Chain A
């Protein structure tokens, strides 16, 4: 190479070109988006997450959840994300503007989580979610009767049964006891609350008609994090037991203690209970805040994706 000036200029020029083109220009385009609202200024989306969810994102990052879970839904031509009901539409830049850490992920050893907070609302036996399908065996004997029995069998039966009794039928009664494991209600966009509230309150003991646990409630998350294989036998997610504390039951069973309905192998010995640490509660609050179900102008309408692409992919194969 003759002369050093061209060499150094080239080295700097090329890098500037890449830096401008790949980060600065896109940042001008999508780096300062505002929430979307309708003409009346209502129905704002997205909303800033709650403080617990912010901390939960840090827990999520610290424990490397991002290496197995993505948080992005691809469009109908990009894969089977929509057919797997991981979302109603593709993800768009605007979905992430308030995320403290945008952990899109690049690996799907576990399912996508972009809408995991919304999928609670789908907890309906009529429309099985992928996870419900994945949880091929919700543990043999997970029937309402079995659900109540472990608690009844525990030595601390007398105070505990009152809590356990508040299971399937009386799930609204669990509401006052449960708020500790719920994200602050006020942080949710008002529009979302009515649909998701009932299922958030539902305890893990609550069962749908065909005997499967309602997926994705806070209690579900806690049980899943504590022992993934008590919910999905084939899961290869590690257990996050270090996020949970073992307490001696004093007086009454804590309202947020994990109930291993139908999985007697997991129940702690009598007089002890497993309760989530604050980090675990934050993590679950974060997971439950992940919700891209709100329609966005720039992301294609879901109506077209429901039927057409399914047929299209069939035709391709």
Chain B
């Protein structure tokens, strides 16, 4: 049913008849109070933004304080947490990530394939030989603790691990599983790295045996090797040349 057909046109369009003009706009000026309100809002909004924006950094999750300082503090705090780990603990993580595949987490290696580190005469000797092997790798055959390891191959780690990490992992290895050798410093590793810089190929057993058992890395901290030197005497037989 359509509308209005039976009705007076006047009535049908009553609403339009009494309608006011389309809206117009006046030109009253702004009041001072309003301008003051603007100022206040801009002031507070700006202050809020400036105070709590965390320097617009993507890492500033917390709104308090200037971001750079907070960020620095936070990273310092987390760094602290990291350094709370002793070199041995860090070395353990490095060992588990890189070495445990062959030498096993218990340091016993795999019979006939990968020599043990626990009780090994090389590990428990001076610091020079372990650093040499880790830096440049080792090409079998090799005899450790009287067992023969014909095919053992160890990759060079000089590119994968930095001095710090090599020092940590070796310190761990030399003090775990009953091993009693002294710690190794990153400086010592660095010195060895420099000394061996020219060498491309891995060491072999004769190379290792050519180095005196108790020889230490060049710049290594003197007291540590001394402590290490006193104990290896108790170690099982030195390998025959």
Q: Is A in direct contact with B (CB under 8 Å) within the complex?
A: yes
Residue ranges of A at the interface with B (Cβ–Cβ < 8 Å):
26, 28-30, 38-43, 75, 77, 90, 92-93, 295, 297-301
The minimal Cβ–Cβ distance linking A26 to chain B, given in whole angstroms, is: 8
Please name 14 pairs of A and B residues whose Cβ atoms are closer than 8 Å in the assembled complex, sorted by A: A26-B58, A29-B58, A30-B58, A40-B94, A40-B98, A42-B96, A77-B62, A77-B64, A92-B61, A298-B59, A299-B61, A300-B62, A300-B74, A301-B77
> A38 vs B89: C-alpha distance in the bound complex, in angstroms?
13
Q: Is B101 an interface residue (CB 8 A)?
A: no
Report the minimum CB–CB distance from B230 to chain A (whole Å): 32
The answer to whether B75 touches A297, judged by C-beta atoms less than 8 angstroms apart, is yes
The residues of B that contact A42 with a CB separation of less than 8 Å are 93, 96-97
Q: Map CB proximity to A onto B55-94 as digits: 1 under 8 Å, 0 otherwise.
A: 0011101101000000000110110010000000000011
A192 to chain B, nearest CB (A): 16
The 9 closest A-B pairs by CB, nearest first: A29-B58, A40-B97, A297-B78, A42-B97, A30-B58, A298-B59, A40-B93, A40-B94, A301-B77
| Cβ 8 A contact of B61, one of A26, A28, A40, A298 | A298
Chain B at the A interface: mostly helix, strand, loop or mixed?
Answer: helix
Interface string of B25-67 (1 = CB under 8 A from A): 0000000000000000000000000000000011101101000
Complex: A30 Cα to B58 Cα, angstroms: 6
From A38, A295, A298, contact of B74 by CB (8 A): A298
Closest A residue to B73 by CB, please name it.
A300
**Could you say which residues of chain B place their CB within 8 Å of the CB of A77?**
62, 64
Which residue of the partner chain A has the closest CB to B70? A300
Q: Shortest distance in angstroms between B49's beta carbon and chain A's nearest beta carbon?
A: 12
Cβ of A138 to closest chain B Cβ, rounded Å: 38
Known: A29-B58, A301-B77, A301-B78. 10 other contacts (CB 8 A): A40-B93, A40-B94, A40-B97, A43-B93, A75-B62, A92-B61, A297-B78, A298-B61, A298-B74, A300-B62
A29 CA to B74 CA in the complex, in Å? 18
Q: What DSSP secondary structure best describes chain A's contact surface? A: loop
- What is the CB-to-nearest-CB distance from B69 to chain A, in angstroms, rounded to a whole number? 14
| B61 contacts across to A, CB distance below 8 A | 75, 90, 92-93, 298-299
Q: How far is the CA of A256 from the CA of B37 in the complex (A)?
A: 65
User: How far does the alpha carbon of A42 sit from the alpha carbon of B92 in the complex, in Å?
Assistant: 12
Q: Which residues of B contact A30 (CB under 8 A)?
A: 58
Say how far B232's CB is from chain A's closest CB, in angstroms. Answer: 29
Q: How far is the CA of A39 from the CA of B97 in the complex (A)?
A: 10
Write the nearest CB–CB distance from B39 to chain A, whole angstroms.
22
Q: Which residue of A lies closest to B58 (CB)?
A: A29
Whether B93 pairs with A38 at a CB distance below 8 angstroms is yes
User: Nearest B residue to A90 by beta-carbon distance?
Assistant: B61
Given A29-B58, A75-B62: A301 in contact with B81 (beta carbons within 8 A): yes
Complex contacts, A75 vs chain B, CB 8 Å:
61-62
List residues of chain A with CB within 8 A of the CB of B97: 40-42
> Given the complex of chains A and B, what is the CA–CA distance between A40 and B168 in angstroms?
12
A97 → B minimal CB distance (Å): 14
Q: Which of B58, B64, B93, B165 has the most CB of A within 10 A?
A: B58
A22 CB to closest chain B CB (Å) equals: 13
From residue B82, how far is it (CB to closest CB) to chain A in Å? Answer: 8
For B165, the chain A residues whose CB sits under 8 A away are 39
A118 vs B77: C-alpha distance in the bound complex, in angstroms? 25
Tell me which residues across on chain B come within 8 A of A301, comparing CB atoms: 77-78, 81
In the bound complex, residues from chain B placing their C-beta under 8 Å from that of A92 are: 61
Q: Which residue of A lies closest to B77 (CB)?
A: A301
Contacts of A43 in B (CB 8 A): 93
> Min CB distance, A102 to chain B, in Å?
16
Give bound CA distance, A244 to B210, whole Å.
Answer: 74
Q: How far apart are the CA atoms of A300 and B62 in the complex, in Å?
A: 9
Query: How far is A75 from B65 in the complex, measured between Cα atoms in Å?
Result: 15
Q: Which of B149-189 contact A (CB under 8 A)?
A: 165
Query: Which of A28, A92, A297 has the most C-beta atoms of chain B within 10 angstroms of its own C-beta?
Result: A297
Q: What CA separation (Å) do A92 and B60 show in the bound complex?
A: 10
Min Cβ gap B38→A in Å is 18
